[in-house]
Amino acid sequence: MAEPLRIALAGLGTVGAGVIRLLETNSELIARRARRPIVVTAISARDRYKPRGVDLSGYAWEDDMVILAERPDVDVVVELVGGSDGPALACARTTFEAGKALVTANKAMIAHHGLELATRAEAAGVSLKFEAAVAGGIPVIKGLREGAAANAFERVYGILNGTCNYILSTMEDTGRDFASVLADAQRLGYAESDPSFDVDGIDAAHKLSILAAIAFGSRIDFGAVEVTGISQLRAADIAQADSLGYVIRLIGMAEPDFSEGACKLFQRVQPHLVPFDHPLAHVDGATNAVVAEGNFSGRLLFQGAGAGDGPTASAVVADLIDIARGEVASPFSVPVSDLETLPAATSGHRRGRAYIRFTVADRPGVLAELTAAMRDAGVSIESLIQKGAPEDGGPDGIGEVLVAMVTHEGPESGVTHAIELLSQSPSLTAPPLVMHILGK
pLDDT tens-digit readout, 341-392 = 999 998 878 899 999 999 999 888 999 999 999 999 999 999 998 865 555 5
pLDDT of 81-97, one tens digit each?
989 999 999 999 999 99
222 and 147 in contact (C-beta within 8 Å)? no
Confidence grade of residue 422 (pLDDT, cut at 50, 70, 90): very high
Element (H, E) at 121: helix 107-124
Task: Identify the CA nearest to 230 among candidates 169, 186, 143.
Answer: 169
Quick check: 128 and 323 in contact, CB under 8 A?
no
| Residues constituting the chain | 440
pLDDT in the model for residue 319: 97
Report whether pLDDT(208) > 80: yes
pLDDT of residue 98: 97
pLDDT for the residue numbered 393: 52
Distance CA 392, CA 347 (A): 36
Active-site residue flag, 50: no
Query: Whole-angstrom Cα distance, residue 158 to residue 201?
Result: 13
Write down the pLDDT at residue 390: 54
From the list 100, 107, 129, 207, the catalytic residue is: 207
More confident residue, 430 or 128: 128
**Listed range (18-22, 233-237, 387-391, 408-412) with the worst mean pLDDT:** 387-391
Measured between alpha carbons, how far is 11 from 68 in angstroms, rounded to an integer?
11
In single-letter form, the type of residue at position 369 comes to: E
Question: Is pLDDT at 16 greater than 80 in this prediction?
Answer: yes
Q: Compute the distance between CA of residue 125 and CA of residue 99 in angstroms, rounded to an integer.
A: 8
Residue 10 has pLDDT above 90, yes or no: yes
Q: Which sign, positive or negative, has the C-alpha torsion 306, 311, 317, 323?
A: negative
Residue 23 has pLDDT above 70, yes or no: yes
State the Cα–Cα distance between residues 210 and 128, nearest whole angstrom: 13
Average pLDDT over residues 303-312: 87
Name the phi and psi angles at 324, rounded to 5.
-60, -30
Q: At what angle do helices 178-188 and 162-174 cross, to 10 degrees?
A: 120
- Say which amino acid occupies 301: L
User: Please, what is the end-to-end C-alpha distance for the chain in angstroms?
Assistant: 50
231 near 161, Cβ under 8 Å?
no
pLDDT tens digits along 110-148: 999 999 999 999 999 999 999 999 988 899 999 999 999
State the pLDDT at residue 1.
Answer: 63
pTM score of the predicted model: 0.93
Distance CA 415, CA 355 (A): 10
Q: Are 235 and 198 in contact (CB under 8 A)?
A: no
Res. 219: pLDDT tops 70: yes
User: Which whole number is the average pLDDT over 182-210?
Assistant: 92
Q: What does the pLDDT read at residue 336? A: 95
pLDDT at position 305 is 87
Pairwise CA distance, residues 279 & 234, whole Å: 24
Residue type, 210: I
Neighbours of 223 (CB within 10 A): 11
Mean residue pLDDT across the chain: 93
CATH topology of domain 351-437: Alpha-Beta Plaits (3.30.70)
Q: Choose the CATH number for 140-305 among 3.40.50.2300, 1.10.3860.10, 3.30.360.10, 3.40.50.10140.
A: 3.30.360.10
Residue 218 DSSP one-character state: B
Q: Does 79 or 49 have the greater pLDDT score?
A: 79
Q: Give the CA radius of gyration of the chain.
A: 24
How many whole angstroms separate alpha carbon 397 and alpha carbon 4? Answer: 74
Q: Quick check: helix, strand or coil at residue 129? A: strand
Which CATH entry fits the domain spanning 5-133: 3.40.50.720, 3.30.365.10, 2.40.30.10, 2.60.40.10? 3.40.50.720
> What are residue 145's phi and psi, to 5 degrees?
-75, -30
Which tens digit of pLDDT belongs to each residue from 238-273? Answer: 999 999 999 999 999 999 998 777 899 999 999 999
Question: 131 or 398: which carries more pLDDT confidence?
Answer: 131
Spatial distance between the Cα atoms of 336 and 321, rounded to a whole number of angstroms: 24
Q: Across 373-421, where does the E strand assignment appear?
A: 381-386, 400-407, 410-411
Q: Is the pLDDT confidence value at 277 over 60?
A: yes
Q: DSSP states of 343-354 as a string?
A: PBPPSTT-EE-E
pLDDT in tens, 186-198: 888 888 888 999 9
Query: Can you spell out the DSSP letters for 79-98?
Result: E-S--SSHHHHHHHHHHHHT
Domain ranges of the chain: 5-133, 140-305, 351-437
Work out the number of other CB atoms within 10 angstroms of the CB of residue 340: 12
